[in-house]
Structure 1
């Protein structure tokens, strides 16, 4: 009998609250649904006192264990160190980076509290899978508390090269915590290589051999596990969504115009300001598209308490207003800009209806919207993906139209190429892209990581992505 899988993330998405699940949620639920297990993390509640023991809800063979976070620590831990130190630095944006010792201390304290709350829930033969940058120190605290079961870590965002990582005053401590895991997984070869550059800088070259890192008496493996999507599930969802009222109304409102779509969380790493500017320039360069296409940008709000996110929202509202003011007609609006979430089935219906998807982050770990768009398409008449070459997905989706997101002219020409591409070329590109999606599905990602984590350290080394 296989050991129980315990997944740990900053936030647990409870069953009743799943509406528009992100990549992490889909991945964790996919892994746990096959074998059952425990998902542990913050439940969204803040408290003034001691966090206390976890509350547990069991649904469909999965136990959801949630703990609150102390109010006085949350802003320092989450909005502070996690999202104003690690997030910008790991996305190669040091100009947005800041470091405050009290935020680092809160980050450490919350991780210690998570370990303390998780400890009584663990069994002797568990296998623990920790997710993302919020919880890097967790394995060290669990080890200090006597936990000896396999503990793996997967980073959903990029990992920076050592010369960028050095900006962080506590980068050596962060590396100490990462090598406390038994398996460390990344999205791309580039992320893995950057991680190894940091390992060598902190511990020396002798500790690394064939993707295995030995520091003291502990050995950690590392590898590449590109995350994917559930193609079959998306296609079933799309088929049902065509009958939904929101999708039908949106399609009817286009009045036969081609739809260009972007779906991104409101974040400066997604390249939205640059994309809006490029779209305005596109209408200038190719004016015959005016009145013939509609650009729908869905950008749900995120991290509203972080100053830089209020700034990006203001810039996007100004850019959309300027473009609409310049080019709109009485019966046509160039940009439809929406700051709201949609249910997952509706979103998949929107993606299906779009002739072009713009996925142009300035830096991204993977970007599952790119893969969802491809999976949602009609293979007989597929749309075209315009993809940033700085997204992790670019390493796999080589048949997409790839551009540098900082180059507005390149984005505009790619959009024009996508809008005029022949049916034969669209079909061939889509065929190649779908082959990759099926090889690197969400289920393959979870299965490969968990199998590697459960295997003994003497097993064959974790493969790297091609």
Structure 2
């Protein structure tokens, strides 16, 4: 039986039995796959070293083997803070105005990918499947090929893929995409991101794109396909029924004293539309003075990427907007926005979600957004809350019974808040039932199984992807 080698920028080390804390659904799904396929999870440790040696730190916890390497400070600055998070991340989220092009970033990105390749090769056996994750490691497959690795390999992109007219602004964009075509399977979150990629390879590279989702390149067929990611539904629901979740629910409900509650949970990132979200709530309070004092917005936004200037700016902007809105609409016994810069265990979040009348998920652009799905899974089916969801989140293609909004339109989101608060129970239950069916049936385990099957060459009869194309064709 083939083993599975998972490669990502960072490794989620499984919790030892009895350890505190909770892992996200993605880590749970990948750990499950690694146990099933006797695999290894390889990536950066998150630690610095004065000189790169490629030394592997191997661990085995709960039948999952992990292998990590340390990186030099220059590597972290150019590869991670630089090309990954100041070039690719903003570009892939359509923020060309924030995209930085620096030659040293690109050099660091390729250098670290080469270091990943050199370090992981000793772990790969001839029959192993290699599953690479995300924008940090787009060229890794081609570097492994050049070093003689002929195993079946796939990459899954957790971010959007930008339209061709934006991607071509990236220096050496064709070389980057050509390196991706060394994989056998290229996975995207949604059909929209897949179509953007197919448009690029067809129009910019002139490659044949077949009806079965394969791309012909240098005598090979590569399968490109949408694999919508989900939450670990059973695991999340179990956590939502825990004593910790109930305690979090009770504490939050007591603190709002009978008021309506809206919740947002997002990393502190400009792609999440938090500034526009706050302005929309402020507009709602201005347009509906009768609701002043009756509705609270709890925004949980753990900081991220603090070394990048644009992230420092978004934090300052949100603090200013919070102060402005609270100053305009608060009184001595009420503050409309509770803005919290810290993270919480998933069981606590499940309790918070269940307590909220509205889930406010309004990113400007998002690969999928699992908060939207977790909010749905946490609701009481007999008295469910309403999900307000950005039409530009990947999840909008599945969660069509949410109130879909344009997050750039302050009025549109404000009106959706009012509609959600006024929605009758019968409509809330009807919408929630359909949303819950999608979240339950298209969970993270199905996503993982579908991708691994494609990597084996078993998905939808596309057993030819990665094989040689008939030279006479």
Please tell me the TM-score bracket, short chain as reference. Answer: over 0.9
CA separation of 1:269 and 1:382: change in aligned 2, threshold 3 A: same
Aligned to 1:221: 223
CA separation of 1:282 and 1:139: change in aligned 2, threshold 3 A: same
* 20-29 vs 214-223, which moves further: 20-29
Shift of 1:432: 0.5
* 1:5 is aligned to 2:4: yes
Q: 2:138 aligns with which of 136, 139, 143?
A: 136
Within 5 Å, give how 1:25-44 maps onto structure 2. 25-44=27-46
Shift of 1:243: 5.8
SS of aligned partner of 2:242 = helix
Aligned to 2:255: 253
Please list the CA deviations of residues 410-448 of structure 1 after superposition, one character each: whole Å capped at 9, or x if unmatched. Answer: 101111111111111111001111111122110000000
Aligned to 1:339: 341
Structure 1 unmatched runs, 5+: none
CA separation of 1:158 and 1:306: change in aligned 2, threshold 3 A: same
Aligned to 1:283: 285
Residues 180, 218 of structure 1: 8 Å contact kept: no
* 1:429 is aligned to 2:431: yes
* 162-171 vs 26-35, which moves further: 26-35
CA separation of 1:443 and 1:279: change in aligned 2, threshold 3 A: same
Aligned to 2:470: none
CA separation of 1:390 and 1:324: change in aligned 2, threshold 3 A: same
CA separation of 1:456 and 1:345: change in aligned 2, threshold 3 A: closer
SS of aligned partner of 1:43 = strand
CA separation of 1:99 and 1:404: change in aligned 2, threshold 3 A: same
Aligned to 1:151: 153
SS of aligned partner of 2:44 = strand
Aligned to 1:83: 85
Residues 211, 461 of structure 1: 8 Å contact kept: no
Shift of 1:118: 0.4
Within 5 Å, give how 1:38-437 maps onto structure 2. 38-206=40-208, 208=210, 210-241=212-243, 245-437=247-439
CA distance in 2, matches of 1:243, 1:398: 27
CA distance in 2, matches of 1:31, 1:287: 52
SS of aligned partner of 2:383 = coil
Residues 399, 433 of structure 1: 8 Å contact kept: yes
Shift of 1:203: 2.5
* 121-130 vs 234-243, which moves further: 234-243
TM-score by length of 2: 0.94
SS of aligned partner of 1:130 = strand
Shift of 1:219: 2.3
Structure 1 runs of 4+ aligned residues shifted over 6 Å read none
**How many residues matched?**
462
SS of aligned partner of 2:208 = helix
CA distance in 2, matches of 1:194, 1:412: 31
CA distance in 2, matches of 1:288, 1:462: 63
Shift of 1:241: 4.2
SS of aligned partner of 2:241 = helix
Residues 223, 462 of structure 1: 8 Å contact kept: no
SS of aligned partner of 1:146 = coil
Residues 221, 457 of structure 1: 8 Å contact kept: no
* 447-456 vs 211-220, which moves further: 211-220
Residues 207, 215 of structure 2: 8 Å contact kept: no
CA separation of 1:333 and 1:241: change in aligned 2, threshold 3 A: farther
Shift of 1:242: 5.4
Please list the CA deviations of residues 189-245 of structure 1 after superposition, one character each: whole Å capped at 9, or x if unmatched. Answer: 111110011111342143655311121133211101000012221111111145654
Calculate the aligned-residue CA RMSD, in Å.
1.9
* 133-142 vs 212-221, which moves further: 212-221
SS of aligned partner of 1:125 = coil
Residues 30, 442 of structure 1: 8 Å contact kept: no
Shift of 1:361: 0.3
CA distance in 2, matches of 1:222, 1:461: 13
CA separation of 1:8 and 1:59: change in aligned 2, threshold 3 A: same
